[in-house]
Amino acid sequence: MTYAINTKGYYGEFGGAFIPEMLYPNVEYLRNNYLDIINEEGFQKEFRSLLKDYVGRPSPLYFAKRLSAQYKTNIFLKREDLNHTGAHKINNTIGQILLAQRIGKKRIIAETGAGQHGVATATVCALMGIECIVYMGEIDIKRQAPNVARMRMLGAKVVPAKSGSKTLKDATNEAIRDWINHPEETHYIIGSVVGPHPYPDMVAIFQSVISEEMQWQLKEQIGSPNPDMIIACVGGGSNAAGAYFHYLDNTDVRLVAVEAAGLGVDTGESAATSVLGTKGIIHGSRTLLMQTPDGQIVEPYSISAGLDYPGIGPMHAHLIDSGRAEAVSITDKEALDAAFHLTRIEGIIPALETAHAFAALDKIKFSEKDNIVINLSGRGDKDLETYIKYLDQQ
């Protein structure tokens, strides 16, 4: 059995392209050409060179000594927080901006939740001198103000999404509507492994540099390319997809997907899709999503804007549904506590999204011999206001 995507754009029964006809020509063009473009030698050369000299890759794989001692195991941190712009998101935007240039698009649109993907998109657009419009939920604009400021300084236009829950789901809807209205000149840089095929695969391929590096870094440090377990947080699931990618079919490696439980999975204020979701269609993809029995998509909740999404990417739906990956749900409070814990024990302030992955250490079983990689997907600068407020309440 393979967990990779099939030729029709499905992971098992999940994936596909459930899109209105207005989007069909662009999506079909990408579907027919994305692999050829990405695999072309000149593309790879430019992509690799930018990842190295502009993003600062490879990102270190750091053995977290004190954290390991405390949990009586071996914990390695894949330091995506050290990338330019502060998260893994830029791996994908570098890839997609090069692709957009090759297919002759002059205008870039993107959606963003926490603002990390918006910043990463605005950054590559500034780098290439291309117009950039970022859709962001009105609520997220308020709770991620530093990233909004960064996008504006980078020259992007930040457009508030005012429909529905005014968060990531609605920002994505608005970006898709923009693409319908401007099909000829625009490329839509989706920030996660969601959306119609080929987006989930395309984003996963660009993010797979994470697991590619992990293989040789682990070989150097522990003598084997394989960890026993990889832990990553999952909203749409792009950092997890990148961290799992080269290990998908290696079932000796446990994959742990950490979702946001919000106030708790039973409270009605949650974003734990694998627990609360059922099979359906969101943003053009058949996957797991939170919805009513009548198929209306439910407004999710999480303190973390990047995990506040009512679906998960089709790759993750398949991994979880088939039992290949284990899902863990972490509440707002558990994530906040984990963020402070990591900061005080290793001197690293993680993004609130990433903090969920660290909280999972208290929920899963492992042995003393295990080598565990946690994908440290982003840094916490953008969340300082939330962190300090929490600190003052203690």
Partner 1 sequence: MNRLDRLFQQKQKDILNIYFTAGYPNLEDTEPIILQLEKSGADLIEIGMPYSDPLADGPTIQESGQVALKNGMTLDILFRQISDVRKKSDIPLVLMGYFNQVMQYGEARFFDKCAEVGIDGLILPDLPMDVYEQDYQRMISDPDNNRDLRISFLITPQTSEERIRKTDELSTGFVYMVSRAAITGAKSDIEQQQIDYFNRVNDMKLQSPRLIGFGISSHDTFSTACQYANGAIIGSAFIKALAKGEIKDTVDEFVNMILGNVPTN
Residues involved in catalysis: 89, 111, 377
Q: What are phi and psi of 254, to 5 degrees?
A: -75, 135
The alpha carbon of residue 63 and the mean position of all alpha carbons in its chain are separated, in whole angstroms, by: 23
Cβ-based nearer residue to partner 1, 262 or 284: 284
Counting contacts by CB under 8 A, is residue 31 touching partner 1?
no
Counting contacts by CB under 8 A, is residue 293 touching partner 1?
yes
Question: Within 13 Å, how many C-alpha atoms sit on residue 309's CB side?
Answer: 32
Whether residue 286 contacts residue 16, with contact meaning beta carbons closer than 8 Å, is answered with yes
| Range 155-194, binding partner 1 (CB under 8 A) | 163-164, 169, 173, 176-177, 180-184
Cβ-based nearer residue to partner 1, 66 or 279: 279
Q: Is 71 exposed, middle or buried (0-12, 13-18, 19+ CB in 10 A)?
A: middle
CB of 133 to partner 1, least distance (A): 16
- Per DSSP, helices labelled H in the chain are 24-39, 41-50, 65-71, 89-102, 116-128, 138-143, 145-153, 168-181, 199-207, 209-222, 238-244, 273-276, 314-321, 332-346, 352-359, 384-393
DSSP state of 85: T
Instruction: Return the range that interacts with partner 1 (CB under 8 A); candidates 75-83, 112-120, 279-287, 360-368.
Output: 279-287
Cβ-based nearer residue to partner 1, 236 or 378: 236
Among 13, 24, 37, 127, binds partner 1 (CB under 8 A): 24
The alpha carbon of residue 373 and the mean position of all alpha carbons in its chain are separated, in whole angstroms, by: 17
Counting contacts by CB under 8 A, is residue 195 touching partner 1?
no
Counting contacts by CB under 8 A, is residue 264 touching partner 1?
no
Q: Is 46 exposed, middle or buried (0-12, 13-18, 19+ CB in 10 A)?
A: middle
Counting contacts by CB under 8 A, is residue 22 touching partner 1?
yes
Among 3, 12, 15, 19, binds partner 1 (CB under 8 A): 19
CB of 304 to partner 1, least distance (A): 21
Three-state SS for 371? Answer: strand
Interatomic CA distance for residues 319 and 317, integer angstroms: 6
Instruction: Return the range that interacts with partner 1 (CB under 8 A); candidates 14-22, 32-40, 89-97, 209-217.
Output: 14-22
Counting contacts by CB under 8 A, is residue 104 touching partner 1?
no
Interatomic CA distance for residues 369 and 201, integer angstroms: 33
Counting contacts by CB under 8 A, is residue 268 touching partner 1?
no
Please work out the total of residues on this chain that contact partner 1, with binding judged by CB under 8 A: 33
Amino acid, res. 166: K
Whether residue 272 contacts residue 316, with contact meaning beta carbons closer than 8 Å, is answered with no
Instruction: Return the range that interacts with partner 1 (CB under 8 A); candidates 89-97, 247-255, 287-295, 336-344.
Output: 287-295
Q: Which residues contact 138 (CB under 8 A, 6 or more apart)?
A: 160, 161, 162, 166
Instruction: Return the range that interacts with partner 1 (CB under 8 A); candidates 20-28, 142-150, 205-213, 257-265.
Output: 20-28
Cβ-based nearer residue to partner 1, 211 or 291: 291
Cβ-based nearer residue to partner 1, 296 or 367: 296
104, 93, 86: which is closest to 150 by C-alpha? 86
Cβ-based nearer residue to partner 1, 103 or 388: 103
Cβ-based nearer residue to partner 1, 182 or 389: 182
CB of 295 to partner 1, least distance (A): 3
Binding site for partner 1 (CB under 8 A): 16-22, 24-25, 163-164, 169, 173, 176-177, 180-184, 278-284, 291, 293-297
